[in-house]
Amino acid sequence: MQTITTATELRHALAEARRRGKRIGFVPTMGYLHDGHLALVNASRARSDLTIVSIFVNPTQFGANEDLSSYPRNFLRDETLCREAGVTIVFAPDTQEVYPAGFQTVVEPGELAEPLCGAFRPGHFRGVATVVCKLFNMVQPDVAFFGQKDFQQCTVIRRMTADLNFPIEIVIVPTVREADGLAMSSRNRYLHAQERQQAVAISRGLLAAADEFRSGERDVSKLVATAKEHFAEIDQLQYLELVDAETLKPAASPLQRPAALCLAAYVGSTRLIDNVIMSFPSPLLGSST
């Protein structure tokens, strides 16, 4: 495994693979890797000849009062996990490499960035779309892998990839959960023991609504109410919305199209997100080009 820090070095390292027609898979991350990230790596290895993992804590997707300075980092551990998982190259650019002096060009993701997390984190998805666009240009993968936990992000990136004519297949990998159901996240480490127990209510509520959907319930208000029944211990429910899985607009009742029940909540001071997909009949997850 190689660790590379510049786009020029990365292009040189991949030149022979491209010449030989090798399929390049890409997993963009902000580091502090967990089993959710490794599921993306495994998906890439199954569908690619080489797997590139980027590790870059992107400053432009953090708001003024968010956790950029305290965001968990452990690069040596991340390198070890990547090596053990069979990653070909770790791409770890510094901020100057990604945002050179005088940087001012950004990607505006449009209306998909406005609801859900976008309503509470203005500018967040502009930062996400911009950095993913830049990473796509630097890595030039054939296929890129993202986790369903960040469903709105996945939707924004799929739209950007299509709109900007990137010849990249986007694969969405199902959320990886802890044994008790909590969605894996680098931010879970912020939770104290009692908060960790409280946080399980998030997945419990979402999965209860998904079970009700599978049992035949199609009324939007009833599905949302089922999830809410489990959230008494959640400190602050920022939003809980059932949205059209493609447009992210409020889902029409009764459900007749794929939908996503999306949530953001604070447990203590830690903001967590999660979602479940309600599909007709096959899941929305998978790949698109």
Residues with active-site annotation? 37
Residues in contact with 36: Cβ distance below 8 Å, sequence separation at least 6, in sequence order: 147, 149, 175, 176, 183, 184, 185
The DSSP bridge partners found for residue 51 are 25
Q: What is the rounded distance in angstroms from the CA atom of residue 127 to the CA atom of residue 139?
A: 18
CA distances from 45 to 4, 87, 154, 232 (A): 19, 8, 20, 41
The answer to whether the beta carbons of residues 145 and 43 sit under 8 Å apart is yes
Residue 181, Ramachandran bin (φ over 0: left; ψ between -120 and 50: alpha; else beta): left
Q: Is the bond preceding 281 in cis, omega lying within 30 degrees of 0? A: yes
